[in-house]
Structure 1
Amino acid sequence: MVAALGSGAGAGRLTAGGLPVSGGFAIGYVHSVYRAPSAEVFTVEGRRFTMRAVLSLNESVLDYYAVEGVRTRDPDGVWVLWLAEPATYGELSLLTTSIGRRTLIAGGRCLPLYPATGAAEVHLTLRATLDVRSRPCDYNQSFFLKTTYSATELTATRTVETQKPHVSPVPG
């Protein structure tokens, strides 16, 4: 399965499989080891996307990534790891399962990336698409929708990090 990010039908703005990304999106999932709701936060630049932060209700998920960064905890108890060296991708290959329920999240809409049963490989890329397959997020995705990350913070991080080389950690 290919989940394409691209430009919607004449809208002139980026979309993720029909989801408006407005400069960023998240991949929400349930961490397979810690069984905790988690998310990876990305910004979009041209046809590339950069992972800027990892969010979770369980701080151990942040340790699992084994990358340097600044940790914060918001008033709702969500742990955030702002990556010291954000990872930039032209394509991201993800193994998705019905247990982890990886879901592309942007603009209050969701695009499930996982199969009903078993496992599947998904290749996430940026390209033009007219295929709209998103839907309102299910109740179980509300953690990701309520998680706040400021566009200002993402832009500031993106500006600072453009001068640094980017590594590609394997997403949780």
Structure 2
Amino acid sequence: MEKIKFVKNGVSNKLPPGFRFQPTDEELVFQYLKCKTFSYQLPASIIPEINICKYDPWDLPGNHGEPDMYFFSAKEAKYRNGNRMNRSTNSGYWKATGSDKKVSVSSSISNGGIAGIRKSLVFYRGKSPNGTRTHWIMHEYRLVSVETTPCNQERHSSN
């Protein structure tokens, strides 16, 4: 059986057959997103960095046989001096749905505080507001805390 290859910056990382990447929300925010944001070493270099809005969901790079795909994507402002995010693609747009979910870090790492937010988005074909809802769902994670403690080190309090 052939090993799966993941390539990042021209360097190939081989993972064993049967490897399944199933991180929790906490792991995605604390061990990957926070590490990526503060340029710490990632636990594994298996999440590619792409501009998510350059692709329609069915054209995203990767193995489409997998139920979940993960990407790092930089925020892109819709307007030069605005705070609204650009979530449109060539054939549609990502629309936020439901309420944001708080992603808490276990008490042993960050005093049980909120580390991030998970926003759910649904893809609509066409132009807003007349788009047609599709079955494509994306979860967008963002950091809330600005603590710069290394990602894989626990913080110990002295009492």
The TM-score by the shorter chain falls in which range? under 0.3
Please give the TM-score of this superposition, normalised by the length of structure 2: 0.22
Name the structure with the higher strand share: 1
| Structure number, greater radius of gyration | 2
Which structure is richer in relative contact order (CA contacts within 8 A, separation 6 or more)?
Answer: 1
